[in-house]
Amino acid sequence: MCRWIAYTGTPVFLSRVLFEPEHSLIDQSLHSRMGVETTNGDGFGVGWYTQDTTTPAVLRDVGPAWNNRNLQEVAHHVRSGLFFGHIRASTGTAVQQTNCHPFRHGRWMWMHNGMISGFHRFRRDLVLTVDPALYPDIEGSTDSELMFFLALTFGLAEDPPGAVARMAGLIEKTGHAHDVPYPLQMTIAVADGERVWAFRYSSEGRSRSLYYSTKVDALRALHPETSFLRDISDETRLVVSEPLGALPGAWNEVPESSYGVIQPGGDALHAFRPQLHDGPLPA
């Protein structure tokens, strides 16, 4: 039950997005308006891609984001053209670095807002499905990290939307087998360093909020006075749990049961539906 932000576009200091907007992610860590919890103080993380490295950097810590000095330092001195920010409100699992988002595997980065209902009752069943070769890399105890490893198991590297659909299908099937009527609640962002996929789904059809930013050229026409909009390219895009700032026309809700992909050459929005995986897992 968290808040998150994904940025892709013109490389900027992380602070321009994480700290400077009026209702920024860091401000949301103290005063979320739309989250189930108003305080998200159980750890945080930022992950960013840089040139010259094959993996993203991930900075995570267990205290609140709002008073963390290392986050301030990094955000004000590191530029990136693709980064994630996440603030956590624990739903019961331990407050520790290995439970903070974003999670990373190779060049992949993953973060989540939501929960698996009844997780403690069928976590073991889900863990057993994780590819044994991936299993040793699970470090924490959250449902969110396990969802990532299930998606990796189901072919995230080849087909992100398909892998996430099969992950969701497995969780719903397993939850139903344990008499949980609505097992899954999720908004997810996942990136490979070039593209970002953002998913909004819940078994109940009442998903956590998710928004994407309006195209920059349209926004610029609406708000010619906003200097930040002049500094960034037309391709720049944000996806957020909760709108930042108060720019009319800036935010569009991601529809229920859908996902978007943000990529060079054109973004797209599609329907999302969990799938049952019946065949053998990808080798």
Question: Which residues of the chain form contacts with its own copies (CB under 8 A)?
Answer: 30-31, 38-39, 41-42, 48, 50, 52-53, 56-64, 66-67, 69-70, 73-74, 76-79, 90, 94-98, 120-121, 123-124, 127-128, 132, 135-136, 138-141
Angle CA 172–176–181, to nearest 5? 90
Asked whether 60 and 43 are in contact (CB, 8 A), the reply is yes
- State the nearest-atom distance from the C-beta of 68 to its own copies, in Å: 8
In the complex, minimum distance from the CB of residue 96 to its own copies, in angstroms, rounded to a whole number: 4
Phi and psi of 175, rounded to 5°?
-65, -45
User: Which one, 52 or 278, has the nearer CB to its own copies?
Assistant: 52
Let me know: does 253 contact 209? Beta carbons within 8 Å: yes
Tokens 């960013």, residue located = 48
Least distance between its own copies and beta carbon 9 (Å): 17
- Our CB check for its own copies shows the closer of 10 and 97 to be 97
Q: Residue 70 or 233: which CB sits closer to its own copies?
A: 70
Nearer to its own copies, 8 or 202 (CB): 8
Cβ–Cβ < 8 Å for 38, 2: no
- In this complex, which beta carbon is closest to its own copies, that of residue 40 or of residue 213? 40
User: For its own copies, which is the closer residue by CB, 143 or 235?
Assistant: 143
Q: Minimum Å distance from CB 71 to its own copies? A: 10
Nearest residue to 1 via CA among 114, 98, 159: 114
CA atoms of 221 and 78, how far apart (whole Å): 29
Shortest Å distance, C-beta 116 to its own copies: 13
CA angle 125, 152, 102 (to 5 degrees): 100
> Measured between alpha carbons, how far apart are the two ends of the chain, in Å?
33
> At its nearest, how many Å lie between its own copies and the CB of residue 255?
32
Separation of alpha carbons 87 and 25, rounded Å: 8
